[in-house]
Homo-oligomer: A and B are copies of this chain.
């Protein structure tokens, strides 16, 4: 893509973003498109936290021991705390969290429907690998929103030692039965495939979010090379997580 058609496409984006922004009662002005993108990011985070709660609570039920159950219950409760933080930030923007989440129901529900863990280990890998790549993506997008929203996103996504719990458990399970590694490696690849395919659906559907990354006529964004570097970073981090688990990406 040369710069000229890129700009034209982005101008198209900007028009549609402005329409969407008006629909969502986002104040007019040069900030409109940016705000719509930030609201989309917060809506994604909120619905992501809510569905993660649901899934972690279900995983807790598969826990082999009571301390494991406590660990998963704690991770689930933390998602509700994240949801509450994001909801109150949306409130500061004058936007209802239910409205902000609506555009993302389908993608998240499809992702979770297609990736139901069959057992405790698959649940752990999903919590670590799936949430990991999602969190990395949110952080990339957050680079383009205002400082307060960015700080909130980073805070909500900060790891709180749960990664160690997952890594220790999965590595122990593989040590105990090396055959497990092949199955979980396949599972990890499926998780990323589904995550990317749902992310694509969201990107195609939510111009405001996409234009945070790609820029608009009024505001520079990433060029194609930068977007490709972003994807490289996401995949690199994913590979690092898989090998932390003792799995091939």
Q: From DSSP, what is the main secondary structure of chain A's interface residues?
A: helix
With both chains docked as a complex, state the minimum distance between the C-beta of A160 and any C-beta of chain B, in angstroms: 13
Tell whether A74 is near chain B: CB-to-CB under 8 Å: yes
With both chains docked as a complex, state the minimum distance between the C-beta of A191 and any C-beta of chain B, in angstroms: 22
A74 and B97 CA atoms in complex are apart in Å by 14
Q: Are A73 and B54 in contact, CB atoms less than 8 angstroms apart?
A: yes
Q: Are A76 and B80 in contact, CB atoms less than 8 angstroms apart?
A: yes
Chain B residue at minimum C-beta to C-beta distance from A56: B57
Tell whether A36 is near chain B: CB-to-CB under 8 Å: no
Query: Which of A5-13, A62-70, A122-130, A137-145 faces chain B?
Result: A62-70
Q: Are B70 and A50 in contact, CB atoms less than 8 angstroms apart?
A: yes
Q: Which residues of chain B are near A58, meaning CB under 8 Å? A: 57
Chain B residue at minimum C-beta to C-beta distance from A61: B54
A101 and B76 CA atoms in complex are apart in Å by 21
With both chains docked as a complex, state the minimum distance between the C-beta of A82 and any C-beta of chain B, in angstroms: 10
Tell whether A196 is near chain B: CB-to-CB under 8 Å: no
For A80, give its contact among B66, B73, B101 (CB under 8 Å): B73
Q: Are B83 and A73 in contact, CB atoms less than 8 angstroms apart?
A: yes
CB within 8 Å of B: which of A50-102? Answer: 50, 53-54, 57-58, 60-61, 66-67, 69-70, 73-74, 76-77, 79-81, 83-84, 97-98, 101
User: Which A residues are within 8 Å of any B CB, using their own CB?
Assistant: 50, 53-54, 57-58, 60-61, 66-67, 69-70, 73-74, 76-77, 79-81, 83-84, 97-98, 101
Beyond the given A53-B76, A54-B61, A54-B73, could you list 9 further A-B residue pairs with CB under 8 A, ordered by the A residue number?
A50-B69, A53-B60, A53-B73, A54-B60, A66-B98, A70-B83, A70-B97, A76-B77, A77-B79
